[in-house]
Structure 1
Amino acid sequence: MRWVVGAAGVGKSALLQSVVESPKLVASCHASVFFSINGRDDGSKAIVTISYQFAAKCKPYRQLIEREIIDDPSLLQSSMAKQFLKFIVEPFIHNPLLNSAGHVLVVIDGLDECKHPRTQLELLRLISDFCIEYPSSPLVWLIASRPEQHITAFFSQSNVAAAYEKEEIAVNSDEAREDVERYLRDKLAEIKKKASDTVDSRWPEEQDLWKLANAAGGLFAYADTAVRYIDDATAGSPSLAALRRVECHR
């Protein structure tokens, strides 16, 4: 298990999304849960969501889960612990075909936006216990969250240390600022290509891009908002919109 931790807006979701979409992803199968306070915060559905995605992508897993649900339809309404046992542990540990399937990735983003800290901690406990008890399982867990006190305290426990590695994304670190600058360059190039008839061939000027990058610092949230504004047809030409965005920040 790898815990990706950082403040709001530093690009955790963007990072995890890029991992899931990468053509270089070394995984035979993957599933993801992206929690959000805007309607996707029910942690009790996390295991079923993961199971559904695996079933859609992997026929042997689907056949096994179909049998389980036919035998016990109440599984879909049962506790998270029982679902974890039936949908995760038993298929990937006790089924030889799935156990030898190569790396299987599970991405859980925005854990802190899952409703109820108790549910967040239960999910972490199930995953960490699984990793400790079955260190050679094919499952690899990638979990991102803000450094909320109860989550940080969980990962600080000595008995959990063996289950995970930590990846911290610091605000305004050199690496974060470089990533944001790269993101801005790529996005502005896309906008320029779409609006080639209305912008100067030299757009964006290097000094204007640097102003925007410096205003964003290491915050992907700021950079993404700026890009959306610049790309908004109602905001005027992209060149004027970019300058307004920087001036508004000042």
Structure 2
Amino acid sequence: MPLFADSQNTAINGGNFVDQSIGVINSNVTTNISPANGQTGIDILLEASNPDAAHDSSARDYAPRCHPGTREQYIKDIIDWGAPTAGADDPLPLFWMKGLAGVGKSAIAQTCAEELKKLGRLGAAFFFAVNVREDAEQFFPTIAYQLSTEFPEYHDLLDQRIRRDRTILKKTMAIQFKVLIDEPFQELEKTWKGIGRRMVIIVDGLDECKKANDQSRIIDIIAAAARDGVTPFRWAFFSRPEPQIEASFTSNDVAQVTCMVLLPVSDDANPDIELYLRSGFKNTLRRRNIQVTSQWPSDDDIQALVKAAKGLFVYAAMVLRDHIVLWSLILRFRIY
């Protein structure tokens, strides 16, 4: 009776038993390794990531964006940093826009992500949010997965790495960054298969990452790679100036590779807020097919709202989103 009478996919090769359903294994080389459950390495990576954190995720369909004509200089500065014109000086690899809650950081981050995508210069994006996108363990896997959809050679290399060791996704963030992002792109550069130009990775709401220590760790890991010149990316961060984040970005090692910009609470934002409000009210009337015989709201009412906003776009956004406020204004001014 044969030793392996019931075996269908087993052979003996050089003294090694081989399951031919997963390829040929000799004493030196393993090929065509299929992970458990028929999953590819990229499938496993996707499970460890958070697709909702992407700039174009349906979960963020109503994400704030800058209204046309507003925040133009800030947007231009970031685009020029992320996609400099030919012959321009090479910008610092990290960018940090800080500002208090409600000043419009996320709207700028979203708008810049969309503009950089149009220019072919967006590598990936992660938009943190409390309770839904706050897990630091998903951060580098999410960035890696998005990058894998942009660069085929990197996709294949990453797939192989995770097939060999799926525990990579359970390692520390420093190891995840090294194995999922740093080393693969270095390997591609050595074989002349690199991405050819620096791409931008946008990280919004870092202060909403669940653990303060993880916020600092993300900055330190990325800054260390930037100092060593091993990352082919530029990283743009948008966050509140929380103490631990401020301490990381202003430390000597990180500050030397970071361009820092303050988005202040200032009356300088009033013209943009006024434009945003006027356009918002106009769109509300149009959507509801309301006809008016005089200007509504009046100039005085618009200026009162601008003054009440005190430089915060979030106030204007809340006014325009709140149907109760809108309809109370409609009734107050007897608009039919």
TM, length-normalised to structure 2: 0.64
Q: After superposition, give the CA deviation of every residue in 1:133-174 in whole Å (9 maximum; x if it has no partner).
A: 117x43010101111112111122112221101010111241
Residue in structure 2 matched with residue 148 of structure 1 by the alignment: 242
Q: 1:72 aligns with which of 159, 165, 168?
A: 165
> How far is 1:85 from its partner?
0.7
Q: 1:110 aligns with which of 199, 205, 208?
A: 205
Which of these two proteins has the greater Rg computed from alpha carbons? Answer: 2
Residue in structure 1 matched with residue 112 of structure 2 by the alignment: 19
Q: After superposition, give the CA deviation of every residue in 1:196-238 in whole Å (9 maximum; x if it has no partner).
A: 3354563343332222222112112111111101xx2x66648
Residue in structure 2 matched with residue 159 of structure 1 by the alignment: 253
SS class of match (2:256): helix
SS class of match (1:36): coil
In the superposition, relative to structure 1, how do residues 160 and 221 fare at CA in structure 2: closer, same or farther (>3 Å)? same
Residue in structure 2 matched with residue 101 of structure 1 by the alignment: 196
**Distance of 1:241 and 1:213 partners within structure 2:** 21
Q: Judge conservation of contact 2:134–2:209 (CA < 8 Å) in 1.
A: yes
Q: Which has the higher helix share?
A: 1
Residue in structure 2 matched with residue 207 of structure 1 by the alignment: 300
**Distance of 1:113 and 1:119 partners within structure 2:** 11
Any residues of structure 2 matched to 1:53-64 within 5 Å, and which? 53-64=146-157
Q: Judge conservation of contact 2:319–2:326 (CA < 8 Å) in 1.
A: no
Q: Judge conservation of contact 1:29–1:54 (CA < 8 Å) in 2.
A: no
**Distance of 1:241 and 1:116 partners within structure 2:** 46
* Pairing 1:170–2:264 present: yes
Residue in structure 1 matched with residue 178 of structure 2 by the alignment: 85
**Distance of 1:99 and 1:45 partners within structure 2:** 25
> How far is 1:242 from its partner?
9.1
Q: Among the aligned pairs, what percent are the same residue?
A: 32
Q: After superposition, give the CA deviation of every residue in 1:44-86 in whole Å (9 maximum; x if it has no partner).
A: 2100111111223332222221111111111122211111012
User: Which one is further off, 30-39 or 108-117?
Assistant: 30-39
**Distance of 1:191 and 1:71 partners within structure 2:** 55
SS class of match (1:68): helix
In the superposition, relative to structure 1, how do residues 45 and 214 fare at CA in structure 2: closer, same or farther (>3 Å)? same
Residue in structure 2 matched with residue 32 of structure 1 by the alignment: 125
**Distance of 1:143 and 1:241 partners within structure 2:** 43
In the superposition, relative to structure 1, how do residues 212 and 125 fare at CA in structure 2: closer, same or farther (>3 Å)? same
Residue in structure 1 matched with residue 29 of structure 2 by the alignment: none
**Distance of 2:255 and 2:264 partners within structure 1:** 21
Contiguous gaps of at least 5 residues in structure 1: 244-250
**Distance of 1:56 and 1:123 partners within structure 2:** 22
Residue 140 of structure 1 aligns to which amino acid in structure 2? R
Contiguous gaps of at least 5 residues in structure 2: 1-93
Indicate the structure whose relative CO is greater, using CA pairs within 8 Å and at least 6 residues apart.
1
* Pairing 1:122–2:208 present: no
Please give the root-mean-square deviation of Cα atoms over the aligned residues, in Å.
2.4
> How far is 1:100 from its partner?
3.6
**Distance of 2:332 and 2:245 partners within structure 1:** 38
User: Which one is further off, 208-217 or 189-198?
Assistant: 189-198
**Distance of 1:123 and 1:150 partners within structure 2:** 12
User: Which one is further off, 118-127 or 22-31?
Assistant: 22-31
Residue in structure 1 matched with residue 136 of structure 2 by the alignment: 43
Residue 256 of structure 2 aligns to which amino acid in structure 1? A
